[in-house]
Structure 1
């Protein structure tokens, strides 16, 4: 009895309340987004909001089960979980159902399972298991290569579906590596490459290369550089030139037409509000029309009359903006910010390296999803089709985020008795 009482008080109920609040927000907005006068009931299982209610109840049961398991279970079986999801990612390439150009779902009766969603938490578990091992240092080449393989293998399989959005989510785990000692230089390089990628699309590649060469030559003549610095500078120039040419090749020969169109629309290279830019344009109209306080529940005309595509999944935030206004949108963003800060707080107070590393993995993945999903609805990032955590419609998404978060809650509840 004492152990049960201790467990009850150790669970971080504030995080659980934030989770339930976001799930509730999602349910009401899914109801508003796809409301049908022929099916007015909240629990009509023929509708997305009826199905989402079942998904939420099952997710709560799943979270409860996780809280009742032994904390050591997750570390011990991390490799097994990882292998299972990798096998599912391979299986989906063979028997998966193609939806919207992505072969990412395994049909199970009337339900569709998306393995890429579950690969996120299993990769976090294995990454935490490896990095928390004895004498593992991320700064060593062998360790870095192993970490790259752990993260990169599921990324490769997901890219083959092809699901660009879910693939890019795994890149967020670089923040975990940074927290565990990876040099900030990698983040700086990543930022520079992103900038160079954008510039390569906006400007003529020969002019851009000429500017890079001029900057390097100018630095050589203006500053007294050491030989080592000079070698790094020239080497960086050579890599930058190759990168510029590779961007051009990938853009023209690898990316699909709809992906190129979305990038062109974002960067202002093209302005096609009836074609590639239609989704984002309608999304911005919906959010903007809500103004400060919104149009009111079930009063959103843009979403109600299906002007906004994927309105209960990828573009669910449009319903928040249109019906709840800027105030409601800020409220939802505030819930996410509070949750992320809480997750980081939980991660930092862990005694076990495994728990801390896993906690930062949870924060990184949720942060990436929130920033990219909301960013694409307001036209700040390309449309890559990833759900808004706990709010977008979908069983696989909700269950995977629930597992991701509740494993951390369980590890935190037992933080005083678990040292891995």
Structure 2
């Protein structure tokens, strides 16, 4: 066991642990403000529990040979099928939270099946593309892989959860590009994406989703309604200035002007309390995280491991881009968690589980145990 621990990429793990510690500090700050206001608290304690469970699972998976995922097609099919069944079940049996039927409720704990679906989609696409990397440019393989991603995307849109659907789309597009899609096929995919977007706007998007997009284009149109979150988020970020107001001293977060501050807008709370210098440090940690992932991608000895790690990197990058983009007013508000920062057990657990698989790949790469191209 000690020998295996020595092979761990501790810079990768250290960057994630640092982000999680910052998250706990911010959630403690949010809890303190909520307690004074007589609102619900306990986010930091629950996140401690989620983190403990997630780290336990991560280290467990880090010791399991990642060749299992590469060699066991039946396991991947079962995992993918289970994720689809759960996405259907959540539409039929779950209660809605903020207008979205995306969670199973177990007392104080909510489980979002879409997080498991992200894991399953990355695994099955990595398997599909790695076995067909020589002829992946063929249209039939692009269409087939699109169906693997398209089924969960459709189910997620029906919840409706536009943000998670965008993450799944980004995963598929990123992985198919890395696998060798031709430029003309990319153009066709983009045209199809525009067509699907028009259909989604006409038949799938709910009125509040359309309103969020329209108010993003013109935030002053409804400052006390659909634009309220966006405006308060930008005020929080701007008021942090260079050094920040200090932990627990952010007015937008502590005085509850900013809704969903423990989940969707935790970046805004962080920027207000830690300032520009804190934001630079935060993105420095994310940069370290992606640098280590790139090292693993470049050194992995087979396409499956490269594609899985790349899919994981794409997923995390897309979540960061959408979350910080909406907090800064650069993208519509969609309700996407900031990886390793936002409160929530499902997202944190799956992110850490996948990190465990990546860590096993890194350990094998470091000692030259990965061999052969698929």
* TM-score higher than 0.5: yes
Aligned-partner Cα distance in 1 for 2:133–2:256: 56
Is there any run of 5+ residues in structure 2 with no aligned partner, and where? none
Instruction: Give the aligned partner of residue 176 of structure 2.
Output: 177
Instruction: Give the aligned partner of residue 97 of structure 1.
Output: 95
Distance apart, 1:251 and its partner CA: 3.9
Distance apart, 1:103 and its partner CA: 0.5
Residue 302 of structure 2, aligned match among 342, 352, 358: 352
Distance apart, 1:179 and its partner CA: 1.2
> Does structure 1 residue 282 correspond to structure 2 residue 281?
no
Q: Is the 8 A contact 2:158 2:204 kept in 1?
A: no
Q: Is the 8 A contact 2:31 2:41 kept in 1?
A: no
Instruction: Give the aligned partner of residue 393 of structure 1.
Output: 343
Aligned-partner Cα distance in 1 for 2:252–2:102: 29
Instruction: Give the aligned partner of residue 130 of structure 2.
Output: 132
> Does structure 1 residue 18 correspond to structure 2 residue 15?
yes
Is there any run of 5+ residues in structure 1 with no aligned partner, and where? 40-44, 198-242
Instruction: Give the aligned partner of residue 42 of structure 1.
Output: none
Q: Is the 8 A contact 1:264 1:270 kept in 2?
A: no
Distance apart, 1:64 and its partner CA: 1.0
CA change 1:182–1:304 in 2 (3 A) is: same
Aligned-partner Cα distance in 2 for 1:348–1:175: 16
Instruction: Give the aligned partner of residue 282 of structure 2.
Output: 332
Q: Is the 8 A contact 2:219 2:231 kept in 1?
A: no
Instruction: Give the aligned partner of residue 42 of structure 2.
Output: 47
Moved more, 176-185 or 155-164: 176-185
CA change 1:7–1:259 in 2 (3 A) is: same
Distance apart, 1:89 and its partner CA: 1.0
Instruction: Give the aligned partner of residue 219 of structure 1.
Output: none
In the TM superposition, what are the counterparts of 1:18-417 in structure 2 within 5 Å? 18-36=15-33, 38=35, 47-75=42-70, 76=72, 77-133=75-131, 137-173=135-171, 174-187=173-186, 243=195, 247=198, 251=201, 254-268=204-218, 271-415=221-365, 416-417=368-369
CA change 1:292–1:59 in 2 (3 A) is: same
Moved more, 19-28 or 373-382: 19-28
Question: Which structure has the larger Rg over C-alpha atoms?
Answer: 1
Aligned-partner Cα distance in 1 for 2:22–2:254: 17
For normalisation by structure 2, the TM-score amounts to 0.90
Alpha-carbon displacement from aligned partner over 1:372-410 (angstroms, at most 9, x marks no partner): 100000100000111000100000010011112221111
- Segments of 4+ in structure 1 off by > 3 A? 36-39, 184-194, 249-254
Distance apart, 1:257 and its partner CA: 2.0
How large is the RMSD of aligned CA atoms in angstroms?
A: 2.3
Instruction: Give the aligned partner of residue 235 of structure 1.
Output: none
Distance apart, 1:12 and its partner CA: 1.1
Aligned-partner Cα distance in 2 for 1:108–1:133: 39
Q: Is the 8 A contact 1:26 1:392 kept in 2?
A: yes
Distance apart, 1:136 and its partner CA: 5.6
Distance apart, 1:342 and its partner CA: 1.9
Instruction: Give the aligned partner of residue 370 of structure 2.
Output: 418
Alpha-carbon displacement from aligned partner over 1:310-347 (angstroms, at most 9, x marks no partner): 00000000111110011111211221122122212211
Q: Is the 8 A contact 1:34 1:311 kept in 2?
A: no
